Amino acid sequence: MKRSGLVWLIVLIGIAGLVAGAYVFRGELATRLVERVAARGLQQSLAAQLPDGLHAVFCGTGSPLPDRSRAGPCLAVIAGGQLLVFDAGEGAAETLSLMGVNPGDINVVFLSHLHSDHFDGLAPLALQHWATGAAEAPLRLVGPTGTARLAAGLNEAYAIDAGYRTAHHGPEVMPPAGAGLSAEEFAVPAGADAIVLRDEGGVRVIAFPVQHAPAEAVGFRIEYAGRSIVVSGDTARSDSLARHARGADLLVHEALSPRLNAIVQRSAVESGRANVGAILHDILDYHTSPEEAGAVAQEAGVGALALTHLLPQTPIPGLAATFERDARTTFGGPVWAMRDGDVISLPRGGGLRRSHHLRF
């Protein structure tokens, strides 16, 4: 064997030895990284990294249909030292934590309507609010008619768990008064087209009716420092939404792709899942297509359009891009199909910046 061949053989044996060693000791190596990862997770605060302004934090861009990459509907807004959460679908609390947002810092959770995909992450969020903040008062929940009944039911369901946790950790770590949710209901008065839900520290939140019957549903407009975000909630194409979105910097709109939905519906029927097929047919009349969302954005003259609550689910890379393409046929501004972990920042004074903050 030539000398250079021998050197290569020794190098290869060395590399193989290192790889084998790393494999055998992988558990030990991972354990040594835990301290660094845990410290980073506990010390990093998303809010501390953002400039003064209005920030849309996408803590759940999914729908009721199963998708491991998307939590249920959730949008957090950071502005003026406040943390407001709009809807809390399944996985919202986990996604917020993985983005460096401490649920203990939440001021209020607003519900757009009482479909379960918009609130089935509430109980974990209330637990995290209590546990991570040693909260002395329950998590504030503001929603349409029925919100008090929902909160009372969840509080009752989690009462045994709350008792165990206070008993185990003590009342200083888990103050009994901080468990669960406190509810406030609102209704847009007859004859009015909106209601102010919050006006504090320069942050203003209004709610206005949208079209999602039989659910009583609203969208939201959030304003701070001359910047504005409008959130559709769940709705069919809505004139009320277009009116309230006028001139907003960012419109966060739900989207259902009729073309993709038809494909999934057909395959459900062909697989003998007639009930799934019927549900996929029925949802068409109370959601908005990407083309319609684009038309609303165009009519309202918003600065940018962020699509969320994507229906059906998008398990194949590139599929979400079809939502953007369809919305661009009707809207001339920037369009993005959002992912969990994305943040759109509207700094005081102008501009728009997108970033991504999912840590794991």
114 vs 186: CA distance, rounded Å: 13
φ, ψ of residue 233 in degrees (nearest 5) = 60, -155
> Where are any strands of DSSP class E within 189-260?
195-200, 203-209, 218-224, 227-231, 250-256
Which of residues 63 and 82 has its CB atom nearest to Zn ion in the complex?
A: 63
- In the complex, minimum distance from the CB of residue 225 to Zn ion, in angstroms, rounded to a whole number: 30
Tokens describing residue 294: 């684009």
* Footprint on residues 137-156 left by Zn ion (CB under 5 A): none
For helices 122-133 and 147-157, give the axis angle rounded to 10 degrees. Answer: 70
Choose which of 120, 234, 291, 340 interacts with Zn ion (CB under 5 A).
234
What is the CA 72 to chain-centroid distance, rounded? 7
Choose which of 50, 58, 71, 115 interacts with Zn ion (CB under 5 A).
115
DSSP 82: E
326 binding Zn ion? (CB under 5 A) = no
324 binding Zn ion? (CB under 5 A) = no
**Part in contact with Zn ion (CB under 5 A); list of ranges 37-45, 107-115, 164-172, 268-276:** 107-115
Spatial CB neighbours of 312, under 8 Å, sequence gap ≥ 6: 63, 65, 256, 257, 260, 261, 264, 280
237 binding Zn ion? (CB under 5 A) = no
Q: Is 105 a catalytic residue?
A: no
**Part in contact with Zn ion (CB under 5 A); list of ranges 7-15, 80-88, 108-116, 123-131:** 108-116
Strands 108-110 and 139-143: parallel
Which of residues 90 and 234 has its CB atom nearest to Zn ion in the complex?
A: 234
**Part in contact with Zn ion (CB under 5 A); list of ranges 4-12, 37-45, 77-85, 230-238:** 230-238
221 binding Zn ion? (CB under 5 A) = no
- In the complex, minimum distance from the CB of residue 113 to Zn ion, in angstroms, rounded to a whole number: 6
30 vs 12: CA distance, rounded Å: 25
117 binding Zn ion? (CB under 5 A) = yes
User: Which residues contact Zn ion (rule: CB under 5 A)?
Assistant: 115, 117, 234
**Catalytic residue annotation:** 117
